[in-house]
Amino acid sequence: MPLRSPPSAVTKDRVIEALDRAVLAAERGSFDSELPELAPSEVAVVSAGDIRPRLDQVLLAEHPGEGLDALLATGLLRTLFPEVTAMVGFGDGEWRHKDVWRHTKQVVAQAAPRVEVRWAALFHDIGKVKTRSVSPDGEVHFFGHAEVGARMFDRLERRMRLFTRDNSLRSTIRFLILHHLRASQYDGSWTDSAVRRFAREIGGELDNLLCLSRADITTKRAEKRRRGVGLINELSARISALAAQDAQVPPLPTGLGNALMEQLGIGPSRLIGDIKRTLEGVIAEGQLEPQRDSAYYVEYVLAHRDRLGLP
């Protein structure tokens, strides 16, 4: 008589099979409606090391929405990410006839197939469930949902520990959740200083954030979608143009040193170099514009003597 497998081994096999079938659904674009439903206690026996790679495959496949629906059908999604399952059937403004879950699946599918962008797409709106409010005129709002979502991701990661061996990926996902609305606030009226400040604050995650922002446009109205994507592309182009310009042209004009010595009544000295370096830092912070005439910077220096350590 053959030995029976320990219950935990049988359970683990069932969970792994369900995960693998979700991967297959994401690759094929359809899934078996007869998928087994798993209890939370069954899922608990499987390690993050077994779960994460398969979830990566689901998210990076050609049809991630079908894979996510398969996870939902088996109960895996509810056990792993109740924060995500809470979005199923939960309505927002434009999508009130549908739900945030459908929007989320579309954002994941539209996002560039990069692991950090697609994980961020999955979690980017989890804060909406906790922040939904309706104004007296019936308009739906989700004030602060990006910040709330980032904190929810922190708790989710402490519970699941899916990214504990990849702190860089964890930090990127959290950063994208927290800032996913930033690029969509661009309306074409930003000054060059504001564009530089945005690029500096987003730093090395700029390309990932812009990819997520484009994917987050899910409106069915073609003109609204065209305008939204067009503005993000315009912002990207301005950032590139300003970076190229700044790389070629010094931020301060030639002759500024002479103008400073004349106005301050001092001769060539280390102080002039210190002042110019301070001005370059202020420009980098977006508080002054680069490539202006000397008088512009002299005026700033005279108005900020204390900050610059001048008598």
The answer on 204 and 121 residing in a single domain is yes
Q: What is the mean pLDDT of the chain?
A: 90
The answer on 216 and 125 residing in a single domain is yes
Domain that holds residue 210: 111-248
* pLDDT the model gives residue 3: 40
Which of 58, 80, 102 terminates a domain? The answer is: 80
Q: For residue 304, is pLDDT > 70? A: yes
- Whether 13 is in a domain gets the answer yes
2 confidence band (pLDDT: 50, 70, 90): very low
- Whether 91 is in a domain gets the answer no
- Whether 118 is in a domain gets the answer yes
94 confidence band (pLDDT: 50, 70, 90): low
- pLDDT tens digits for range 222-231: 999 999 999 9
Distance CA 279, CA 155 (A): 42
Give whole-number Cα distances, 174 to 178, 266, 298, in Å: 6, 51, 42
- Whether 95 is in a domain gets the answer no
Mean pLDDT is lowest, of 7-11, 81-85, 135-139, 185-189, for: 7-11
- Total tally of structural domains belonging to the chain: 3
Share of the chain above pLDDT 90, in %: 66
The answer on 240 and 118 residing in a single domain is yes
CA atoms within 13 A on the CB side of 109: 18
- Whether 101 is in a domain gets the answer no
Distance CA 232, CA 210 (A): 7
- Whether 97 is in a domain gets the answer no
Nearest to 114 by CA among 190, 153, 60: 60
> With contact defined as beta carbons under 8 Å apart, do 68 and 54 qualify?
no
* pLDDT the model gives residue 250: 86
Classify burial at 189, counting beta carbons within 10 Å of its beta carbon; exposed 0-12, middle 13-18, buried 19 or more.
exposed
Which of 23, 57, 80 terminates a domain? The answer is: 80
Distance CA 33, CA 150 (A): 33
- Whether 149 is in a domain gets the answer yes
The DSSP-derived string for 192-218 is HHHHHHHHHHHGGGHHHHHHHHHHT--
The answer on 241 and 133 residing in a single domain is yes
The answer on 292 and 222 residing in a single domain is no
The answer on 260 and 191 residing in a single domain is no
The answer on 276 and 194 residing in a single domain is no
* pLDDT the model gives residue 194: 93
* pLDDT the model gives residue 9: 64
- Whether 229 is in a domain gets the answer yes
- pLDDT tens digits for range 242-272: 999 888 888 899 899 999 999 888 888 888 8
Which of 80, 103, 127 terminates a domain? The answer is: 80
Q: For residue 31, is pLDDT > 60? A: yes
Cβ of 180: how many Cβ atoms within 10 Å?
24
The answer on 182 and 67 residing in a single domain is no
pTM for this model (two decimals): 0.79
- pLDDT tens digits for range 152-169: 999 999 999 999 999 999
Q: Which is higher by pLDDT, 16 or 9?
A: 16
- Mean pLDDT for the stretch of residues 130-138: 88
Q: Which is higher by pLDDT, 248 or 96?
A: 248
